[in-house]
Structure 1
Amino acid sequence: MTYDIAIIGAGCAGLSLAYQILKNKNINKKIIILDKKSEFKKDRTWSFWKIDEHDFEDCLEKQWFRFNLKFQNQLKLFEKSIYPYQTINSLKFYEKIQSTLNDNFELKLNSNIKTITKQNDIFEIKTENIKIKSKIIFDSRVPKADPGNLYQHFYGYEIETTENYFNEKTVTLMDFNCEQKNGVHFFYILPFTNNRALIETTWLSYLNDLDKKNYIKELETYIQNNLKIKNYNIIREEIGAIPMFRTKSQSDHGHFNIGLRGNINRMSTGYAFPYIQQHSKIIANTIDSLSF
């Protein structure tokens, strides 16, 4: 069997595209979604300023109307009554889209892509176990890291404390009260409740010195010394690196890159979720104009 569309990656970009195709009742294509993960879990949080309406209000972890910036002894508090800062719970997002996929879609996990080739206008995708043929590919795999370029890279803990340490109504967008060398460094706090928050050490720098041990040291020092939290439970960890530069958006074989792989993030900030939604709608609305 040859599929009309293969979507590689069942993360934010891949599933957003699948969802927008599903919403478009004029599209009747056989679509396969491939991902190397073995299961869906809460592995990400996607945060952004809500400027436009989107389809995932029911997947929110939380939204805030206040945020602060900290530097040395200065604290600036801002309020946004119109445009809230929202965070999407990735597991709710995954489950929502999975539950809506119809018989036109096939989802295959445990599918690690080995090679992609093209012959006679048909792509052949080889995984560790199977071969799949498709007329078009949308590829959302995380691009290979380029240590010589600028990234926003981060490592965080979602923690729960026995006492109320956080102001759940205010996001700490950037706390610069930390070591500054070889780049821009700040801490980021999303308080989901008064005793549960995601705390991240975040750098704008090259990836040459990327080391998880350094992240952990920075994070634990900040939690204990700056936030004065001695006892806490780590619920999960989150790590990532967002390219702050442009890469080519089309592969050598002619299939289309989406998500971070397709430069669908704002270069100045790294924010991607709203732009992925816009891009997915554009693709879904023009998909019949592509060559099948």
Structure 2
Amino acid sequence: MASAAPTPIKCDLAIVGGGLAGGLIALAVARQRPELKIVLIEQEQHFGGNHIWSFFASDIAPEHRWLTAPLVTYGWSGYDVHFPEHSRSIDNIYYTIESERLDWLLRHNLPASSLITGRSVKAVSPRLVVLDGAQRINAGGVIDTRGVSDYHHLDCGWQKFTGQLLQLREPHDLKRPIVMDATVEQYDGYRFIYVLPFGMDKIFVEDTYYSDTPDLDRRIMAQRIAGYADGKGWQVERVLREETGVLPVVMDGDLENYWASGSGRTAKAGARGAFFHPVTSYSLPDAVRNAIFISEQLDFDGDRLNLLMRQRAQEHWNGGNFYRILNRMLFRAAEPAERYKVLERFYRLKPGLIERFYAGQSTAGDKARILSGKPPVPVGKALKAITARKKKK
């Protein structure tokens, strides 16, 4: 005899995917619209995965900082960059969020009935989510934040990395983050080391590449992290955590088909909806903006949410045209071993311009300044890269 189907769950808003984008939406809506029933669904047992997210204070509008402030676990008054012919300290406050903190805040701010973990999603539509075991969630609206859709619709280079949190035998003397240390030997495109000092005797070291391929060899990258730490005189007692990632650096593409490839007409946020910085691949600033925007809506109808988020995705895509041109110059005009020169030149510009660039809010004057002067790549190749477009599939 067949067992009865589970009783459907009813809610006002179902958020599919409990990573950064989905978690921020849940926290924002729970605060702004406490009368609504939210359901947040994550296939793993914990929200947020295994991640460390960092951002500049200038990435977040002052009126939105109430959302990020409770998540911050570390902060510094500035950061450093190092290149073969240029080093610099920049006084822009820098923050870090750990995924464990996101998980804790979600469990602390939302009722247990709103949090579903360890369940796989079988289907989504604007008002319905079907889980394993035929569990149905009937919602006023659904937002899909499960990460990437089909990258075949995008023309990408890749930012790939392995990061390790190292427990040291003795305290280090690093006072502020090193956002880019490109004095290291260049392999596989533009390579740099990213360093965050966590306490007196813990340090997070990430080996990062802007590469033509998404292939990642964790073992080799871990060896290079160990070599970097040894070169700094840091005696590593053990590795406390490790994360790896491969992120798109988008040069061109077909947003319409990318959007459709990730659950069709259902509203999307995060990487699922192409909400990330074209150059840095960072998604936190856009995740905050979208979470606030969604929490301010009065109507959570699924079709309406899809239209709103699709429009925002198009506006975000259009706003990224300049950054995608820069990506084509970086990947197609610069020789892989010479790519660091593009960033070395960039970090000679004014701090305000750099801040706006990371926030994805470069002004017309910023764009003109970035492109002015002698380019750090061959002019002919630069012009060819700027005008080159990949044919849409």
TM range (shorter): 0.7 to 0.9
Contact (CA 8 Å) 2:269, 2:275: kept in 1 or not? yes
Match of 1:49 in 2: 56
Contact (CA 8 Å) 2:275, 2:287: kept in 1 or not? yes
SS across alignment from 1:210: coil
Q: Describe the shift of the 1:110–1:77 C-alpha distance in structure 2 as closer, same or farther (beyond 3 A).
A: same
Work out which of the residue numbers 194, 219, 225 in structure 1 matches 2:200. Answer: 194
Are 1:242 and 2:247 matched, yes or no? yes
Work out which of the residue numbers 271, 283, 289 in structure 1 matches 2:294. Answer: 283
Contact (CA 8 Å) 1:47, 1:88: kept in 2 or not? yes
Match of 1:274 in 2: 285
Matched residues in 2 for 1:133 and 1:290: separation?
A: 12
State the TM-score, normalizing by the size of structure 2.
Answer: 0.65
The alpha carbon displacement at 1:30 in A equals 2.9
Work out which of the residue numbers 180, 183, 206 in structure 2 matches 1:177. Answer: 183
**Paired residue type of 1:214:** I
Q: Describe the shift of the 1:49–1:243 C-alpha distance in structure 2 as closer, same or farther (beyond 3 A).
A: same
Are 1:212 and 2:224 matched, yes or no? no
State the TM-score, normalizing by the size of structure 1.
Answer: 0.85
Contact (CA 8 Å) 2:142, 2:302: kept in 1 or not? no
The alpha carbon displacement at 1:128 in A equals 5.4
Matched residues in 2 for 1:100 and 1:279: separation?
A: 19
Matched residues in 1 for 2:29 and 2:182: separation?
A: 42
1:71-150 → structure 2 map (5 Å cutoff): 71-72=83-84, 74=85, 76-80=87-91, 83-102=92-111, 106-116=114-124, 118=125, 122-127=127-132, 130-143=135-148, 146=151, 149-150=156-157
RMSD, aligned CA? 2.7
The alpha carbon displacement at 1:208 in A equals 3.9
**Paired residue type of 1:84:** I
Work out which of the residue numbers 21, 27, 41 in structure 2 matches 1:13. Answer: 21
Matched residues in 2 for 1:127 and 1:220: separation?
A: 42
The alpha carbon displacement at 1:254 in A equals 0.9
The alpha carbon displacement at 1:37 in A equals 1.0
**Paired residue type of 2:75:** Q
What's the CA shift string for 1:156-215, capped at 9, x where partnerless? 110111112341x22111111233243211100001223211100011123442222232
Contact (CA 8 Å) 2:17, 2:145: kept in 1 or not? yes
Q: Which has the higher strand share?
A: 1
Match of 1:257 in 2: 268
SS across alignment from 1:276: helix
**Paired residue type of 1:222:** Y
**Paired residue type of 1:153:** K
The alpha carbon displacement at 1:281 in A equals 0.8
Match of 2:168 in 1: 161
Match of 2:307 in 1: none
Match of 1:233 in 2: 238
The alpha carbon displacement at 1:130 in A equals 3.0
Contact (CA 8 Å) 1:45, 1:88: kept in 2 or not? yes
**Paired residue type of 1:37:** E
Q: Which has the higher helix share?
A: 2
* Greater displacement, 4-13 / 174-183: 174-183
Q: Describe the shift of the 1:291–1:37 C-alpha distance in structure 2 as closer, same or farther (beyond 3 A).
A: closer
Contact (CA 8 Å) 1:153, 1:240: kept in 2 or not? yes
Match of 2:311 in 1: none
Contact (CA 8 Å) 1:60, 1:87: kept in 2 or not? yes
The alpha carbon displacement at 1:278 in A equals 1.1
SS across alignment from 1:149: strand
SS across alignment from 1:56: helix
Contact (CA 8 Å) 2:46, 2:103: kept in 1 or not? no
Q: How many pairs were matched up? A: 282
Contact (CA 8 Å) 1:66, 1:77: kept in 2 or not? no
Q: Which consecutive unaligned segments of at least 5 residues does structure 1 have? A: none
Structure showing greater radius of gyration is 2
SS across alignment from 1:92: helix
What's the CA shift string for 1:260-279, capped at 9, x where partnerless? 22222211222322221111
Q: Describe the shift of the 1:62–1:156 C-alpha distance in structure 2 as closer, same or farther (beyond 3 A).
A: same
Q: Which consecutive unaligned segments of at least 5 residues does structure 2 have? A: 1-7, 304-393
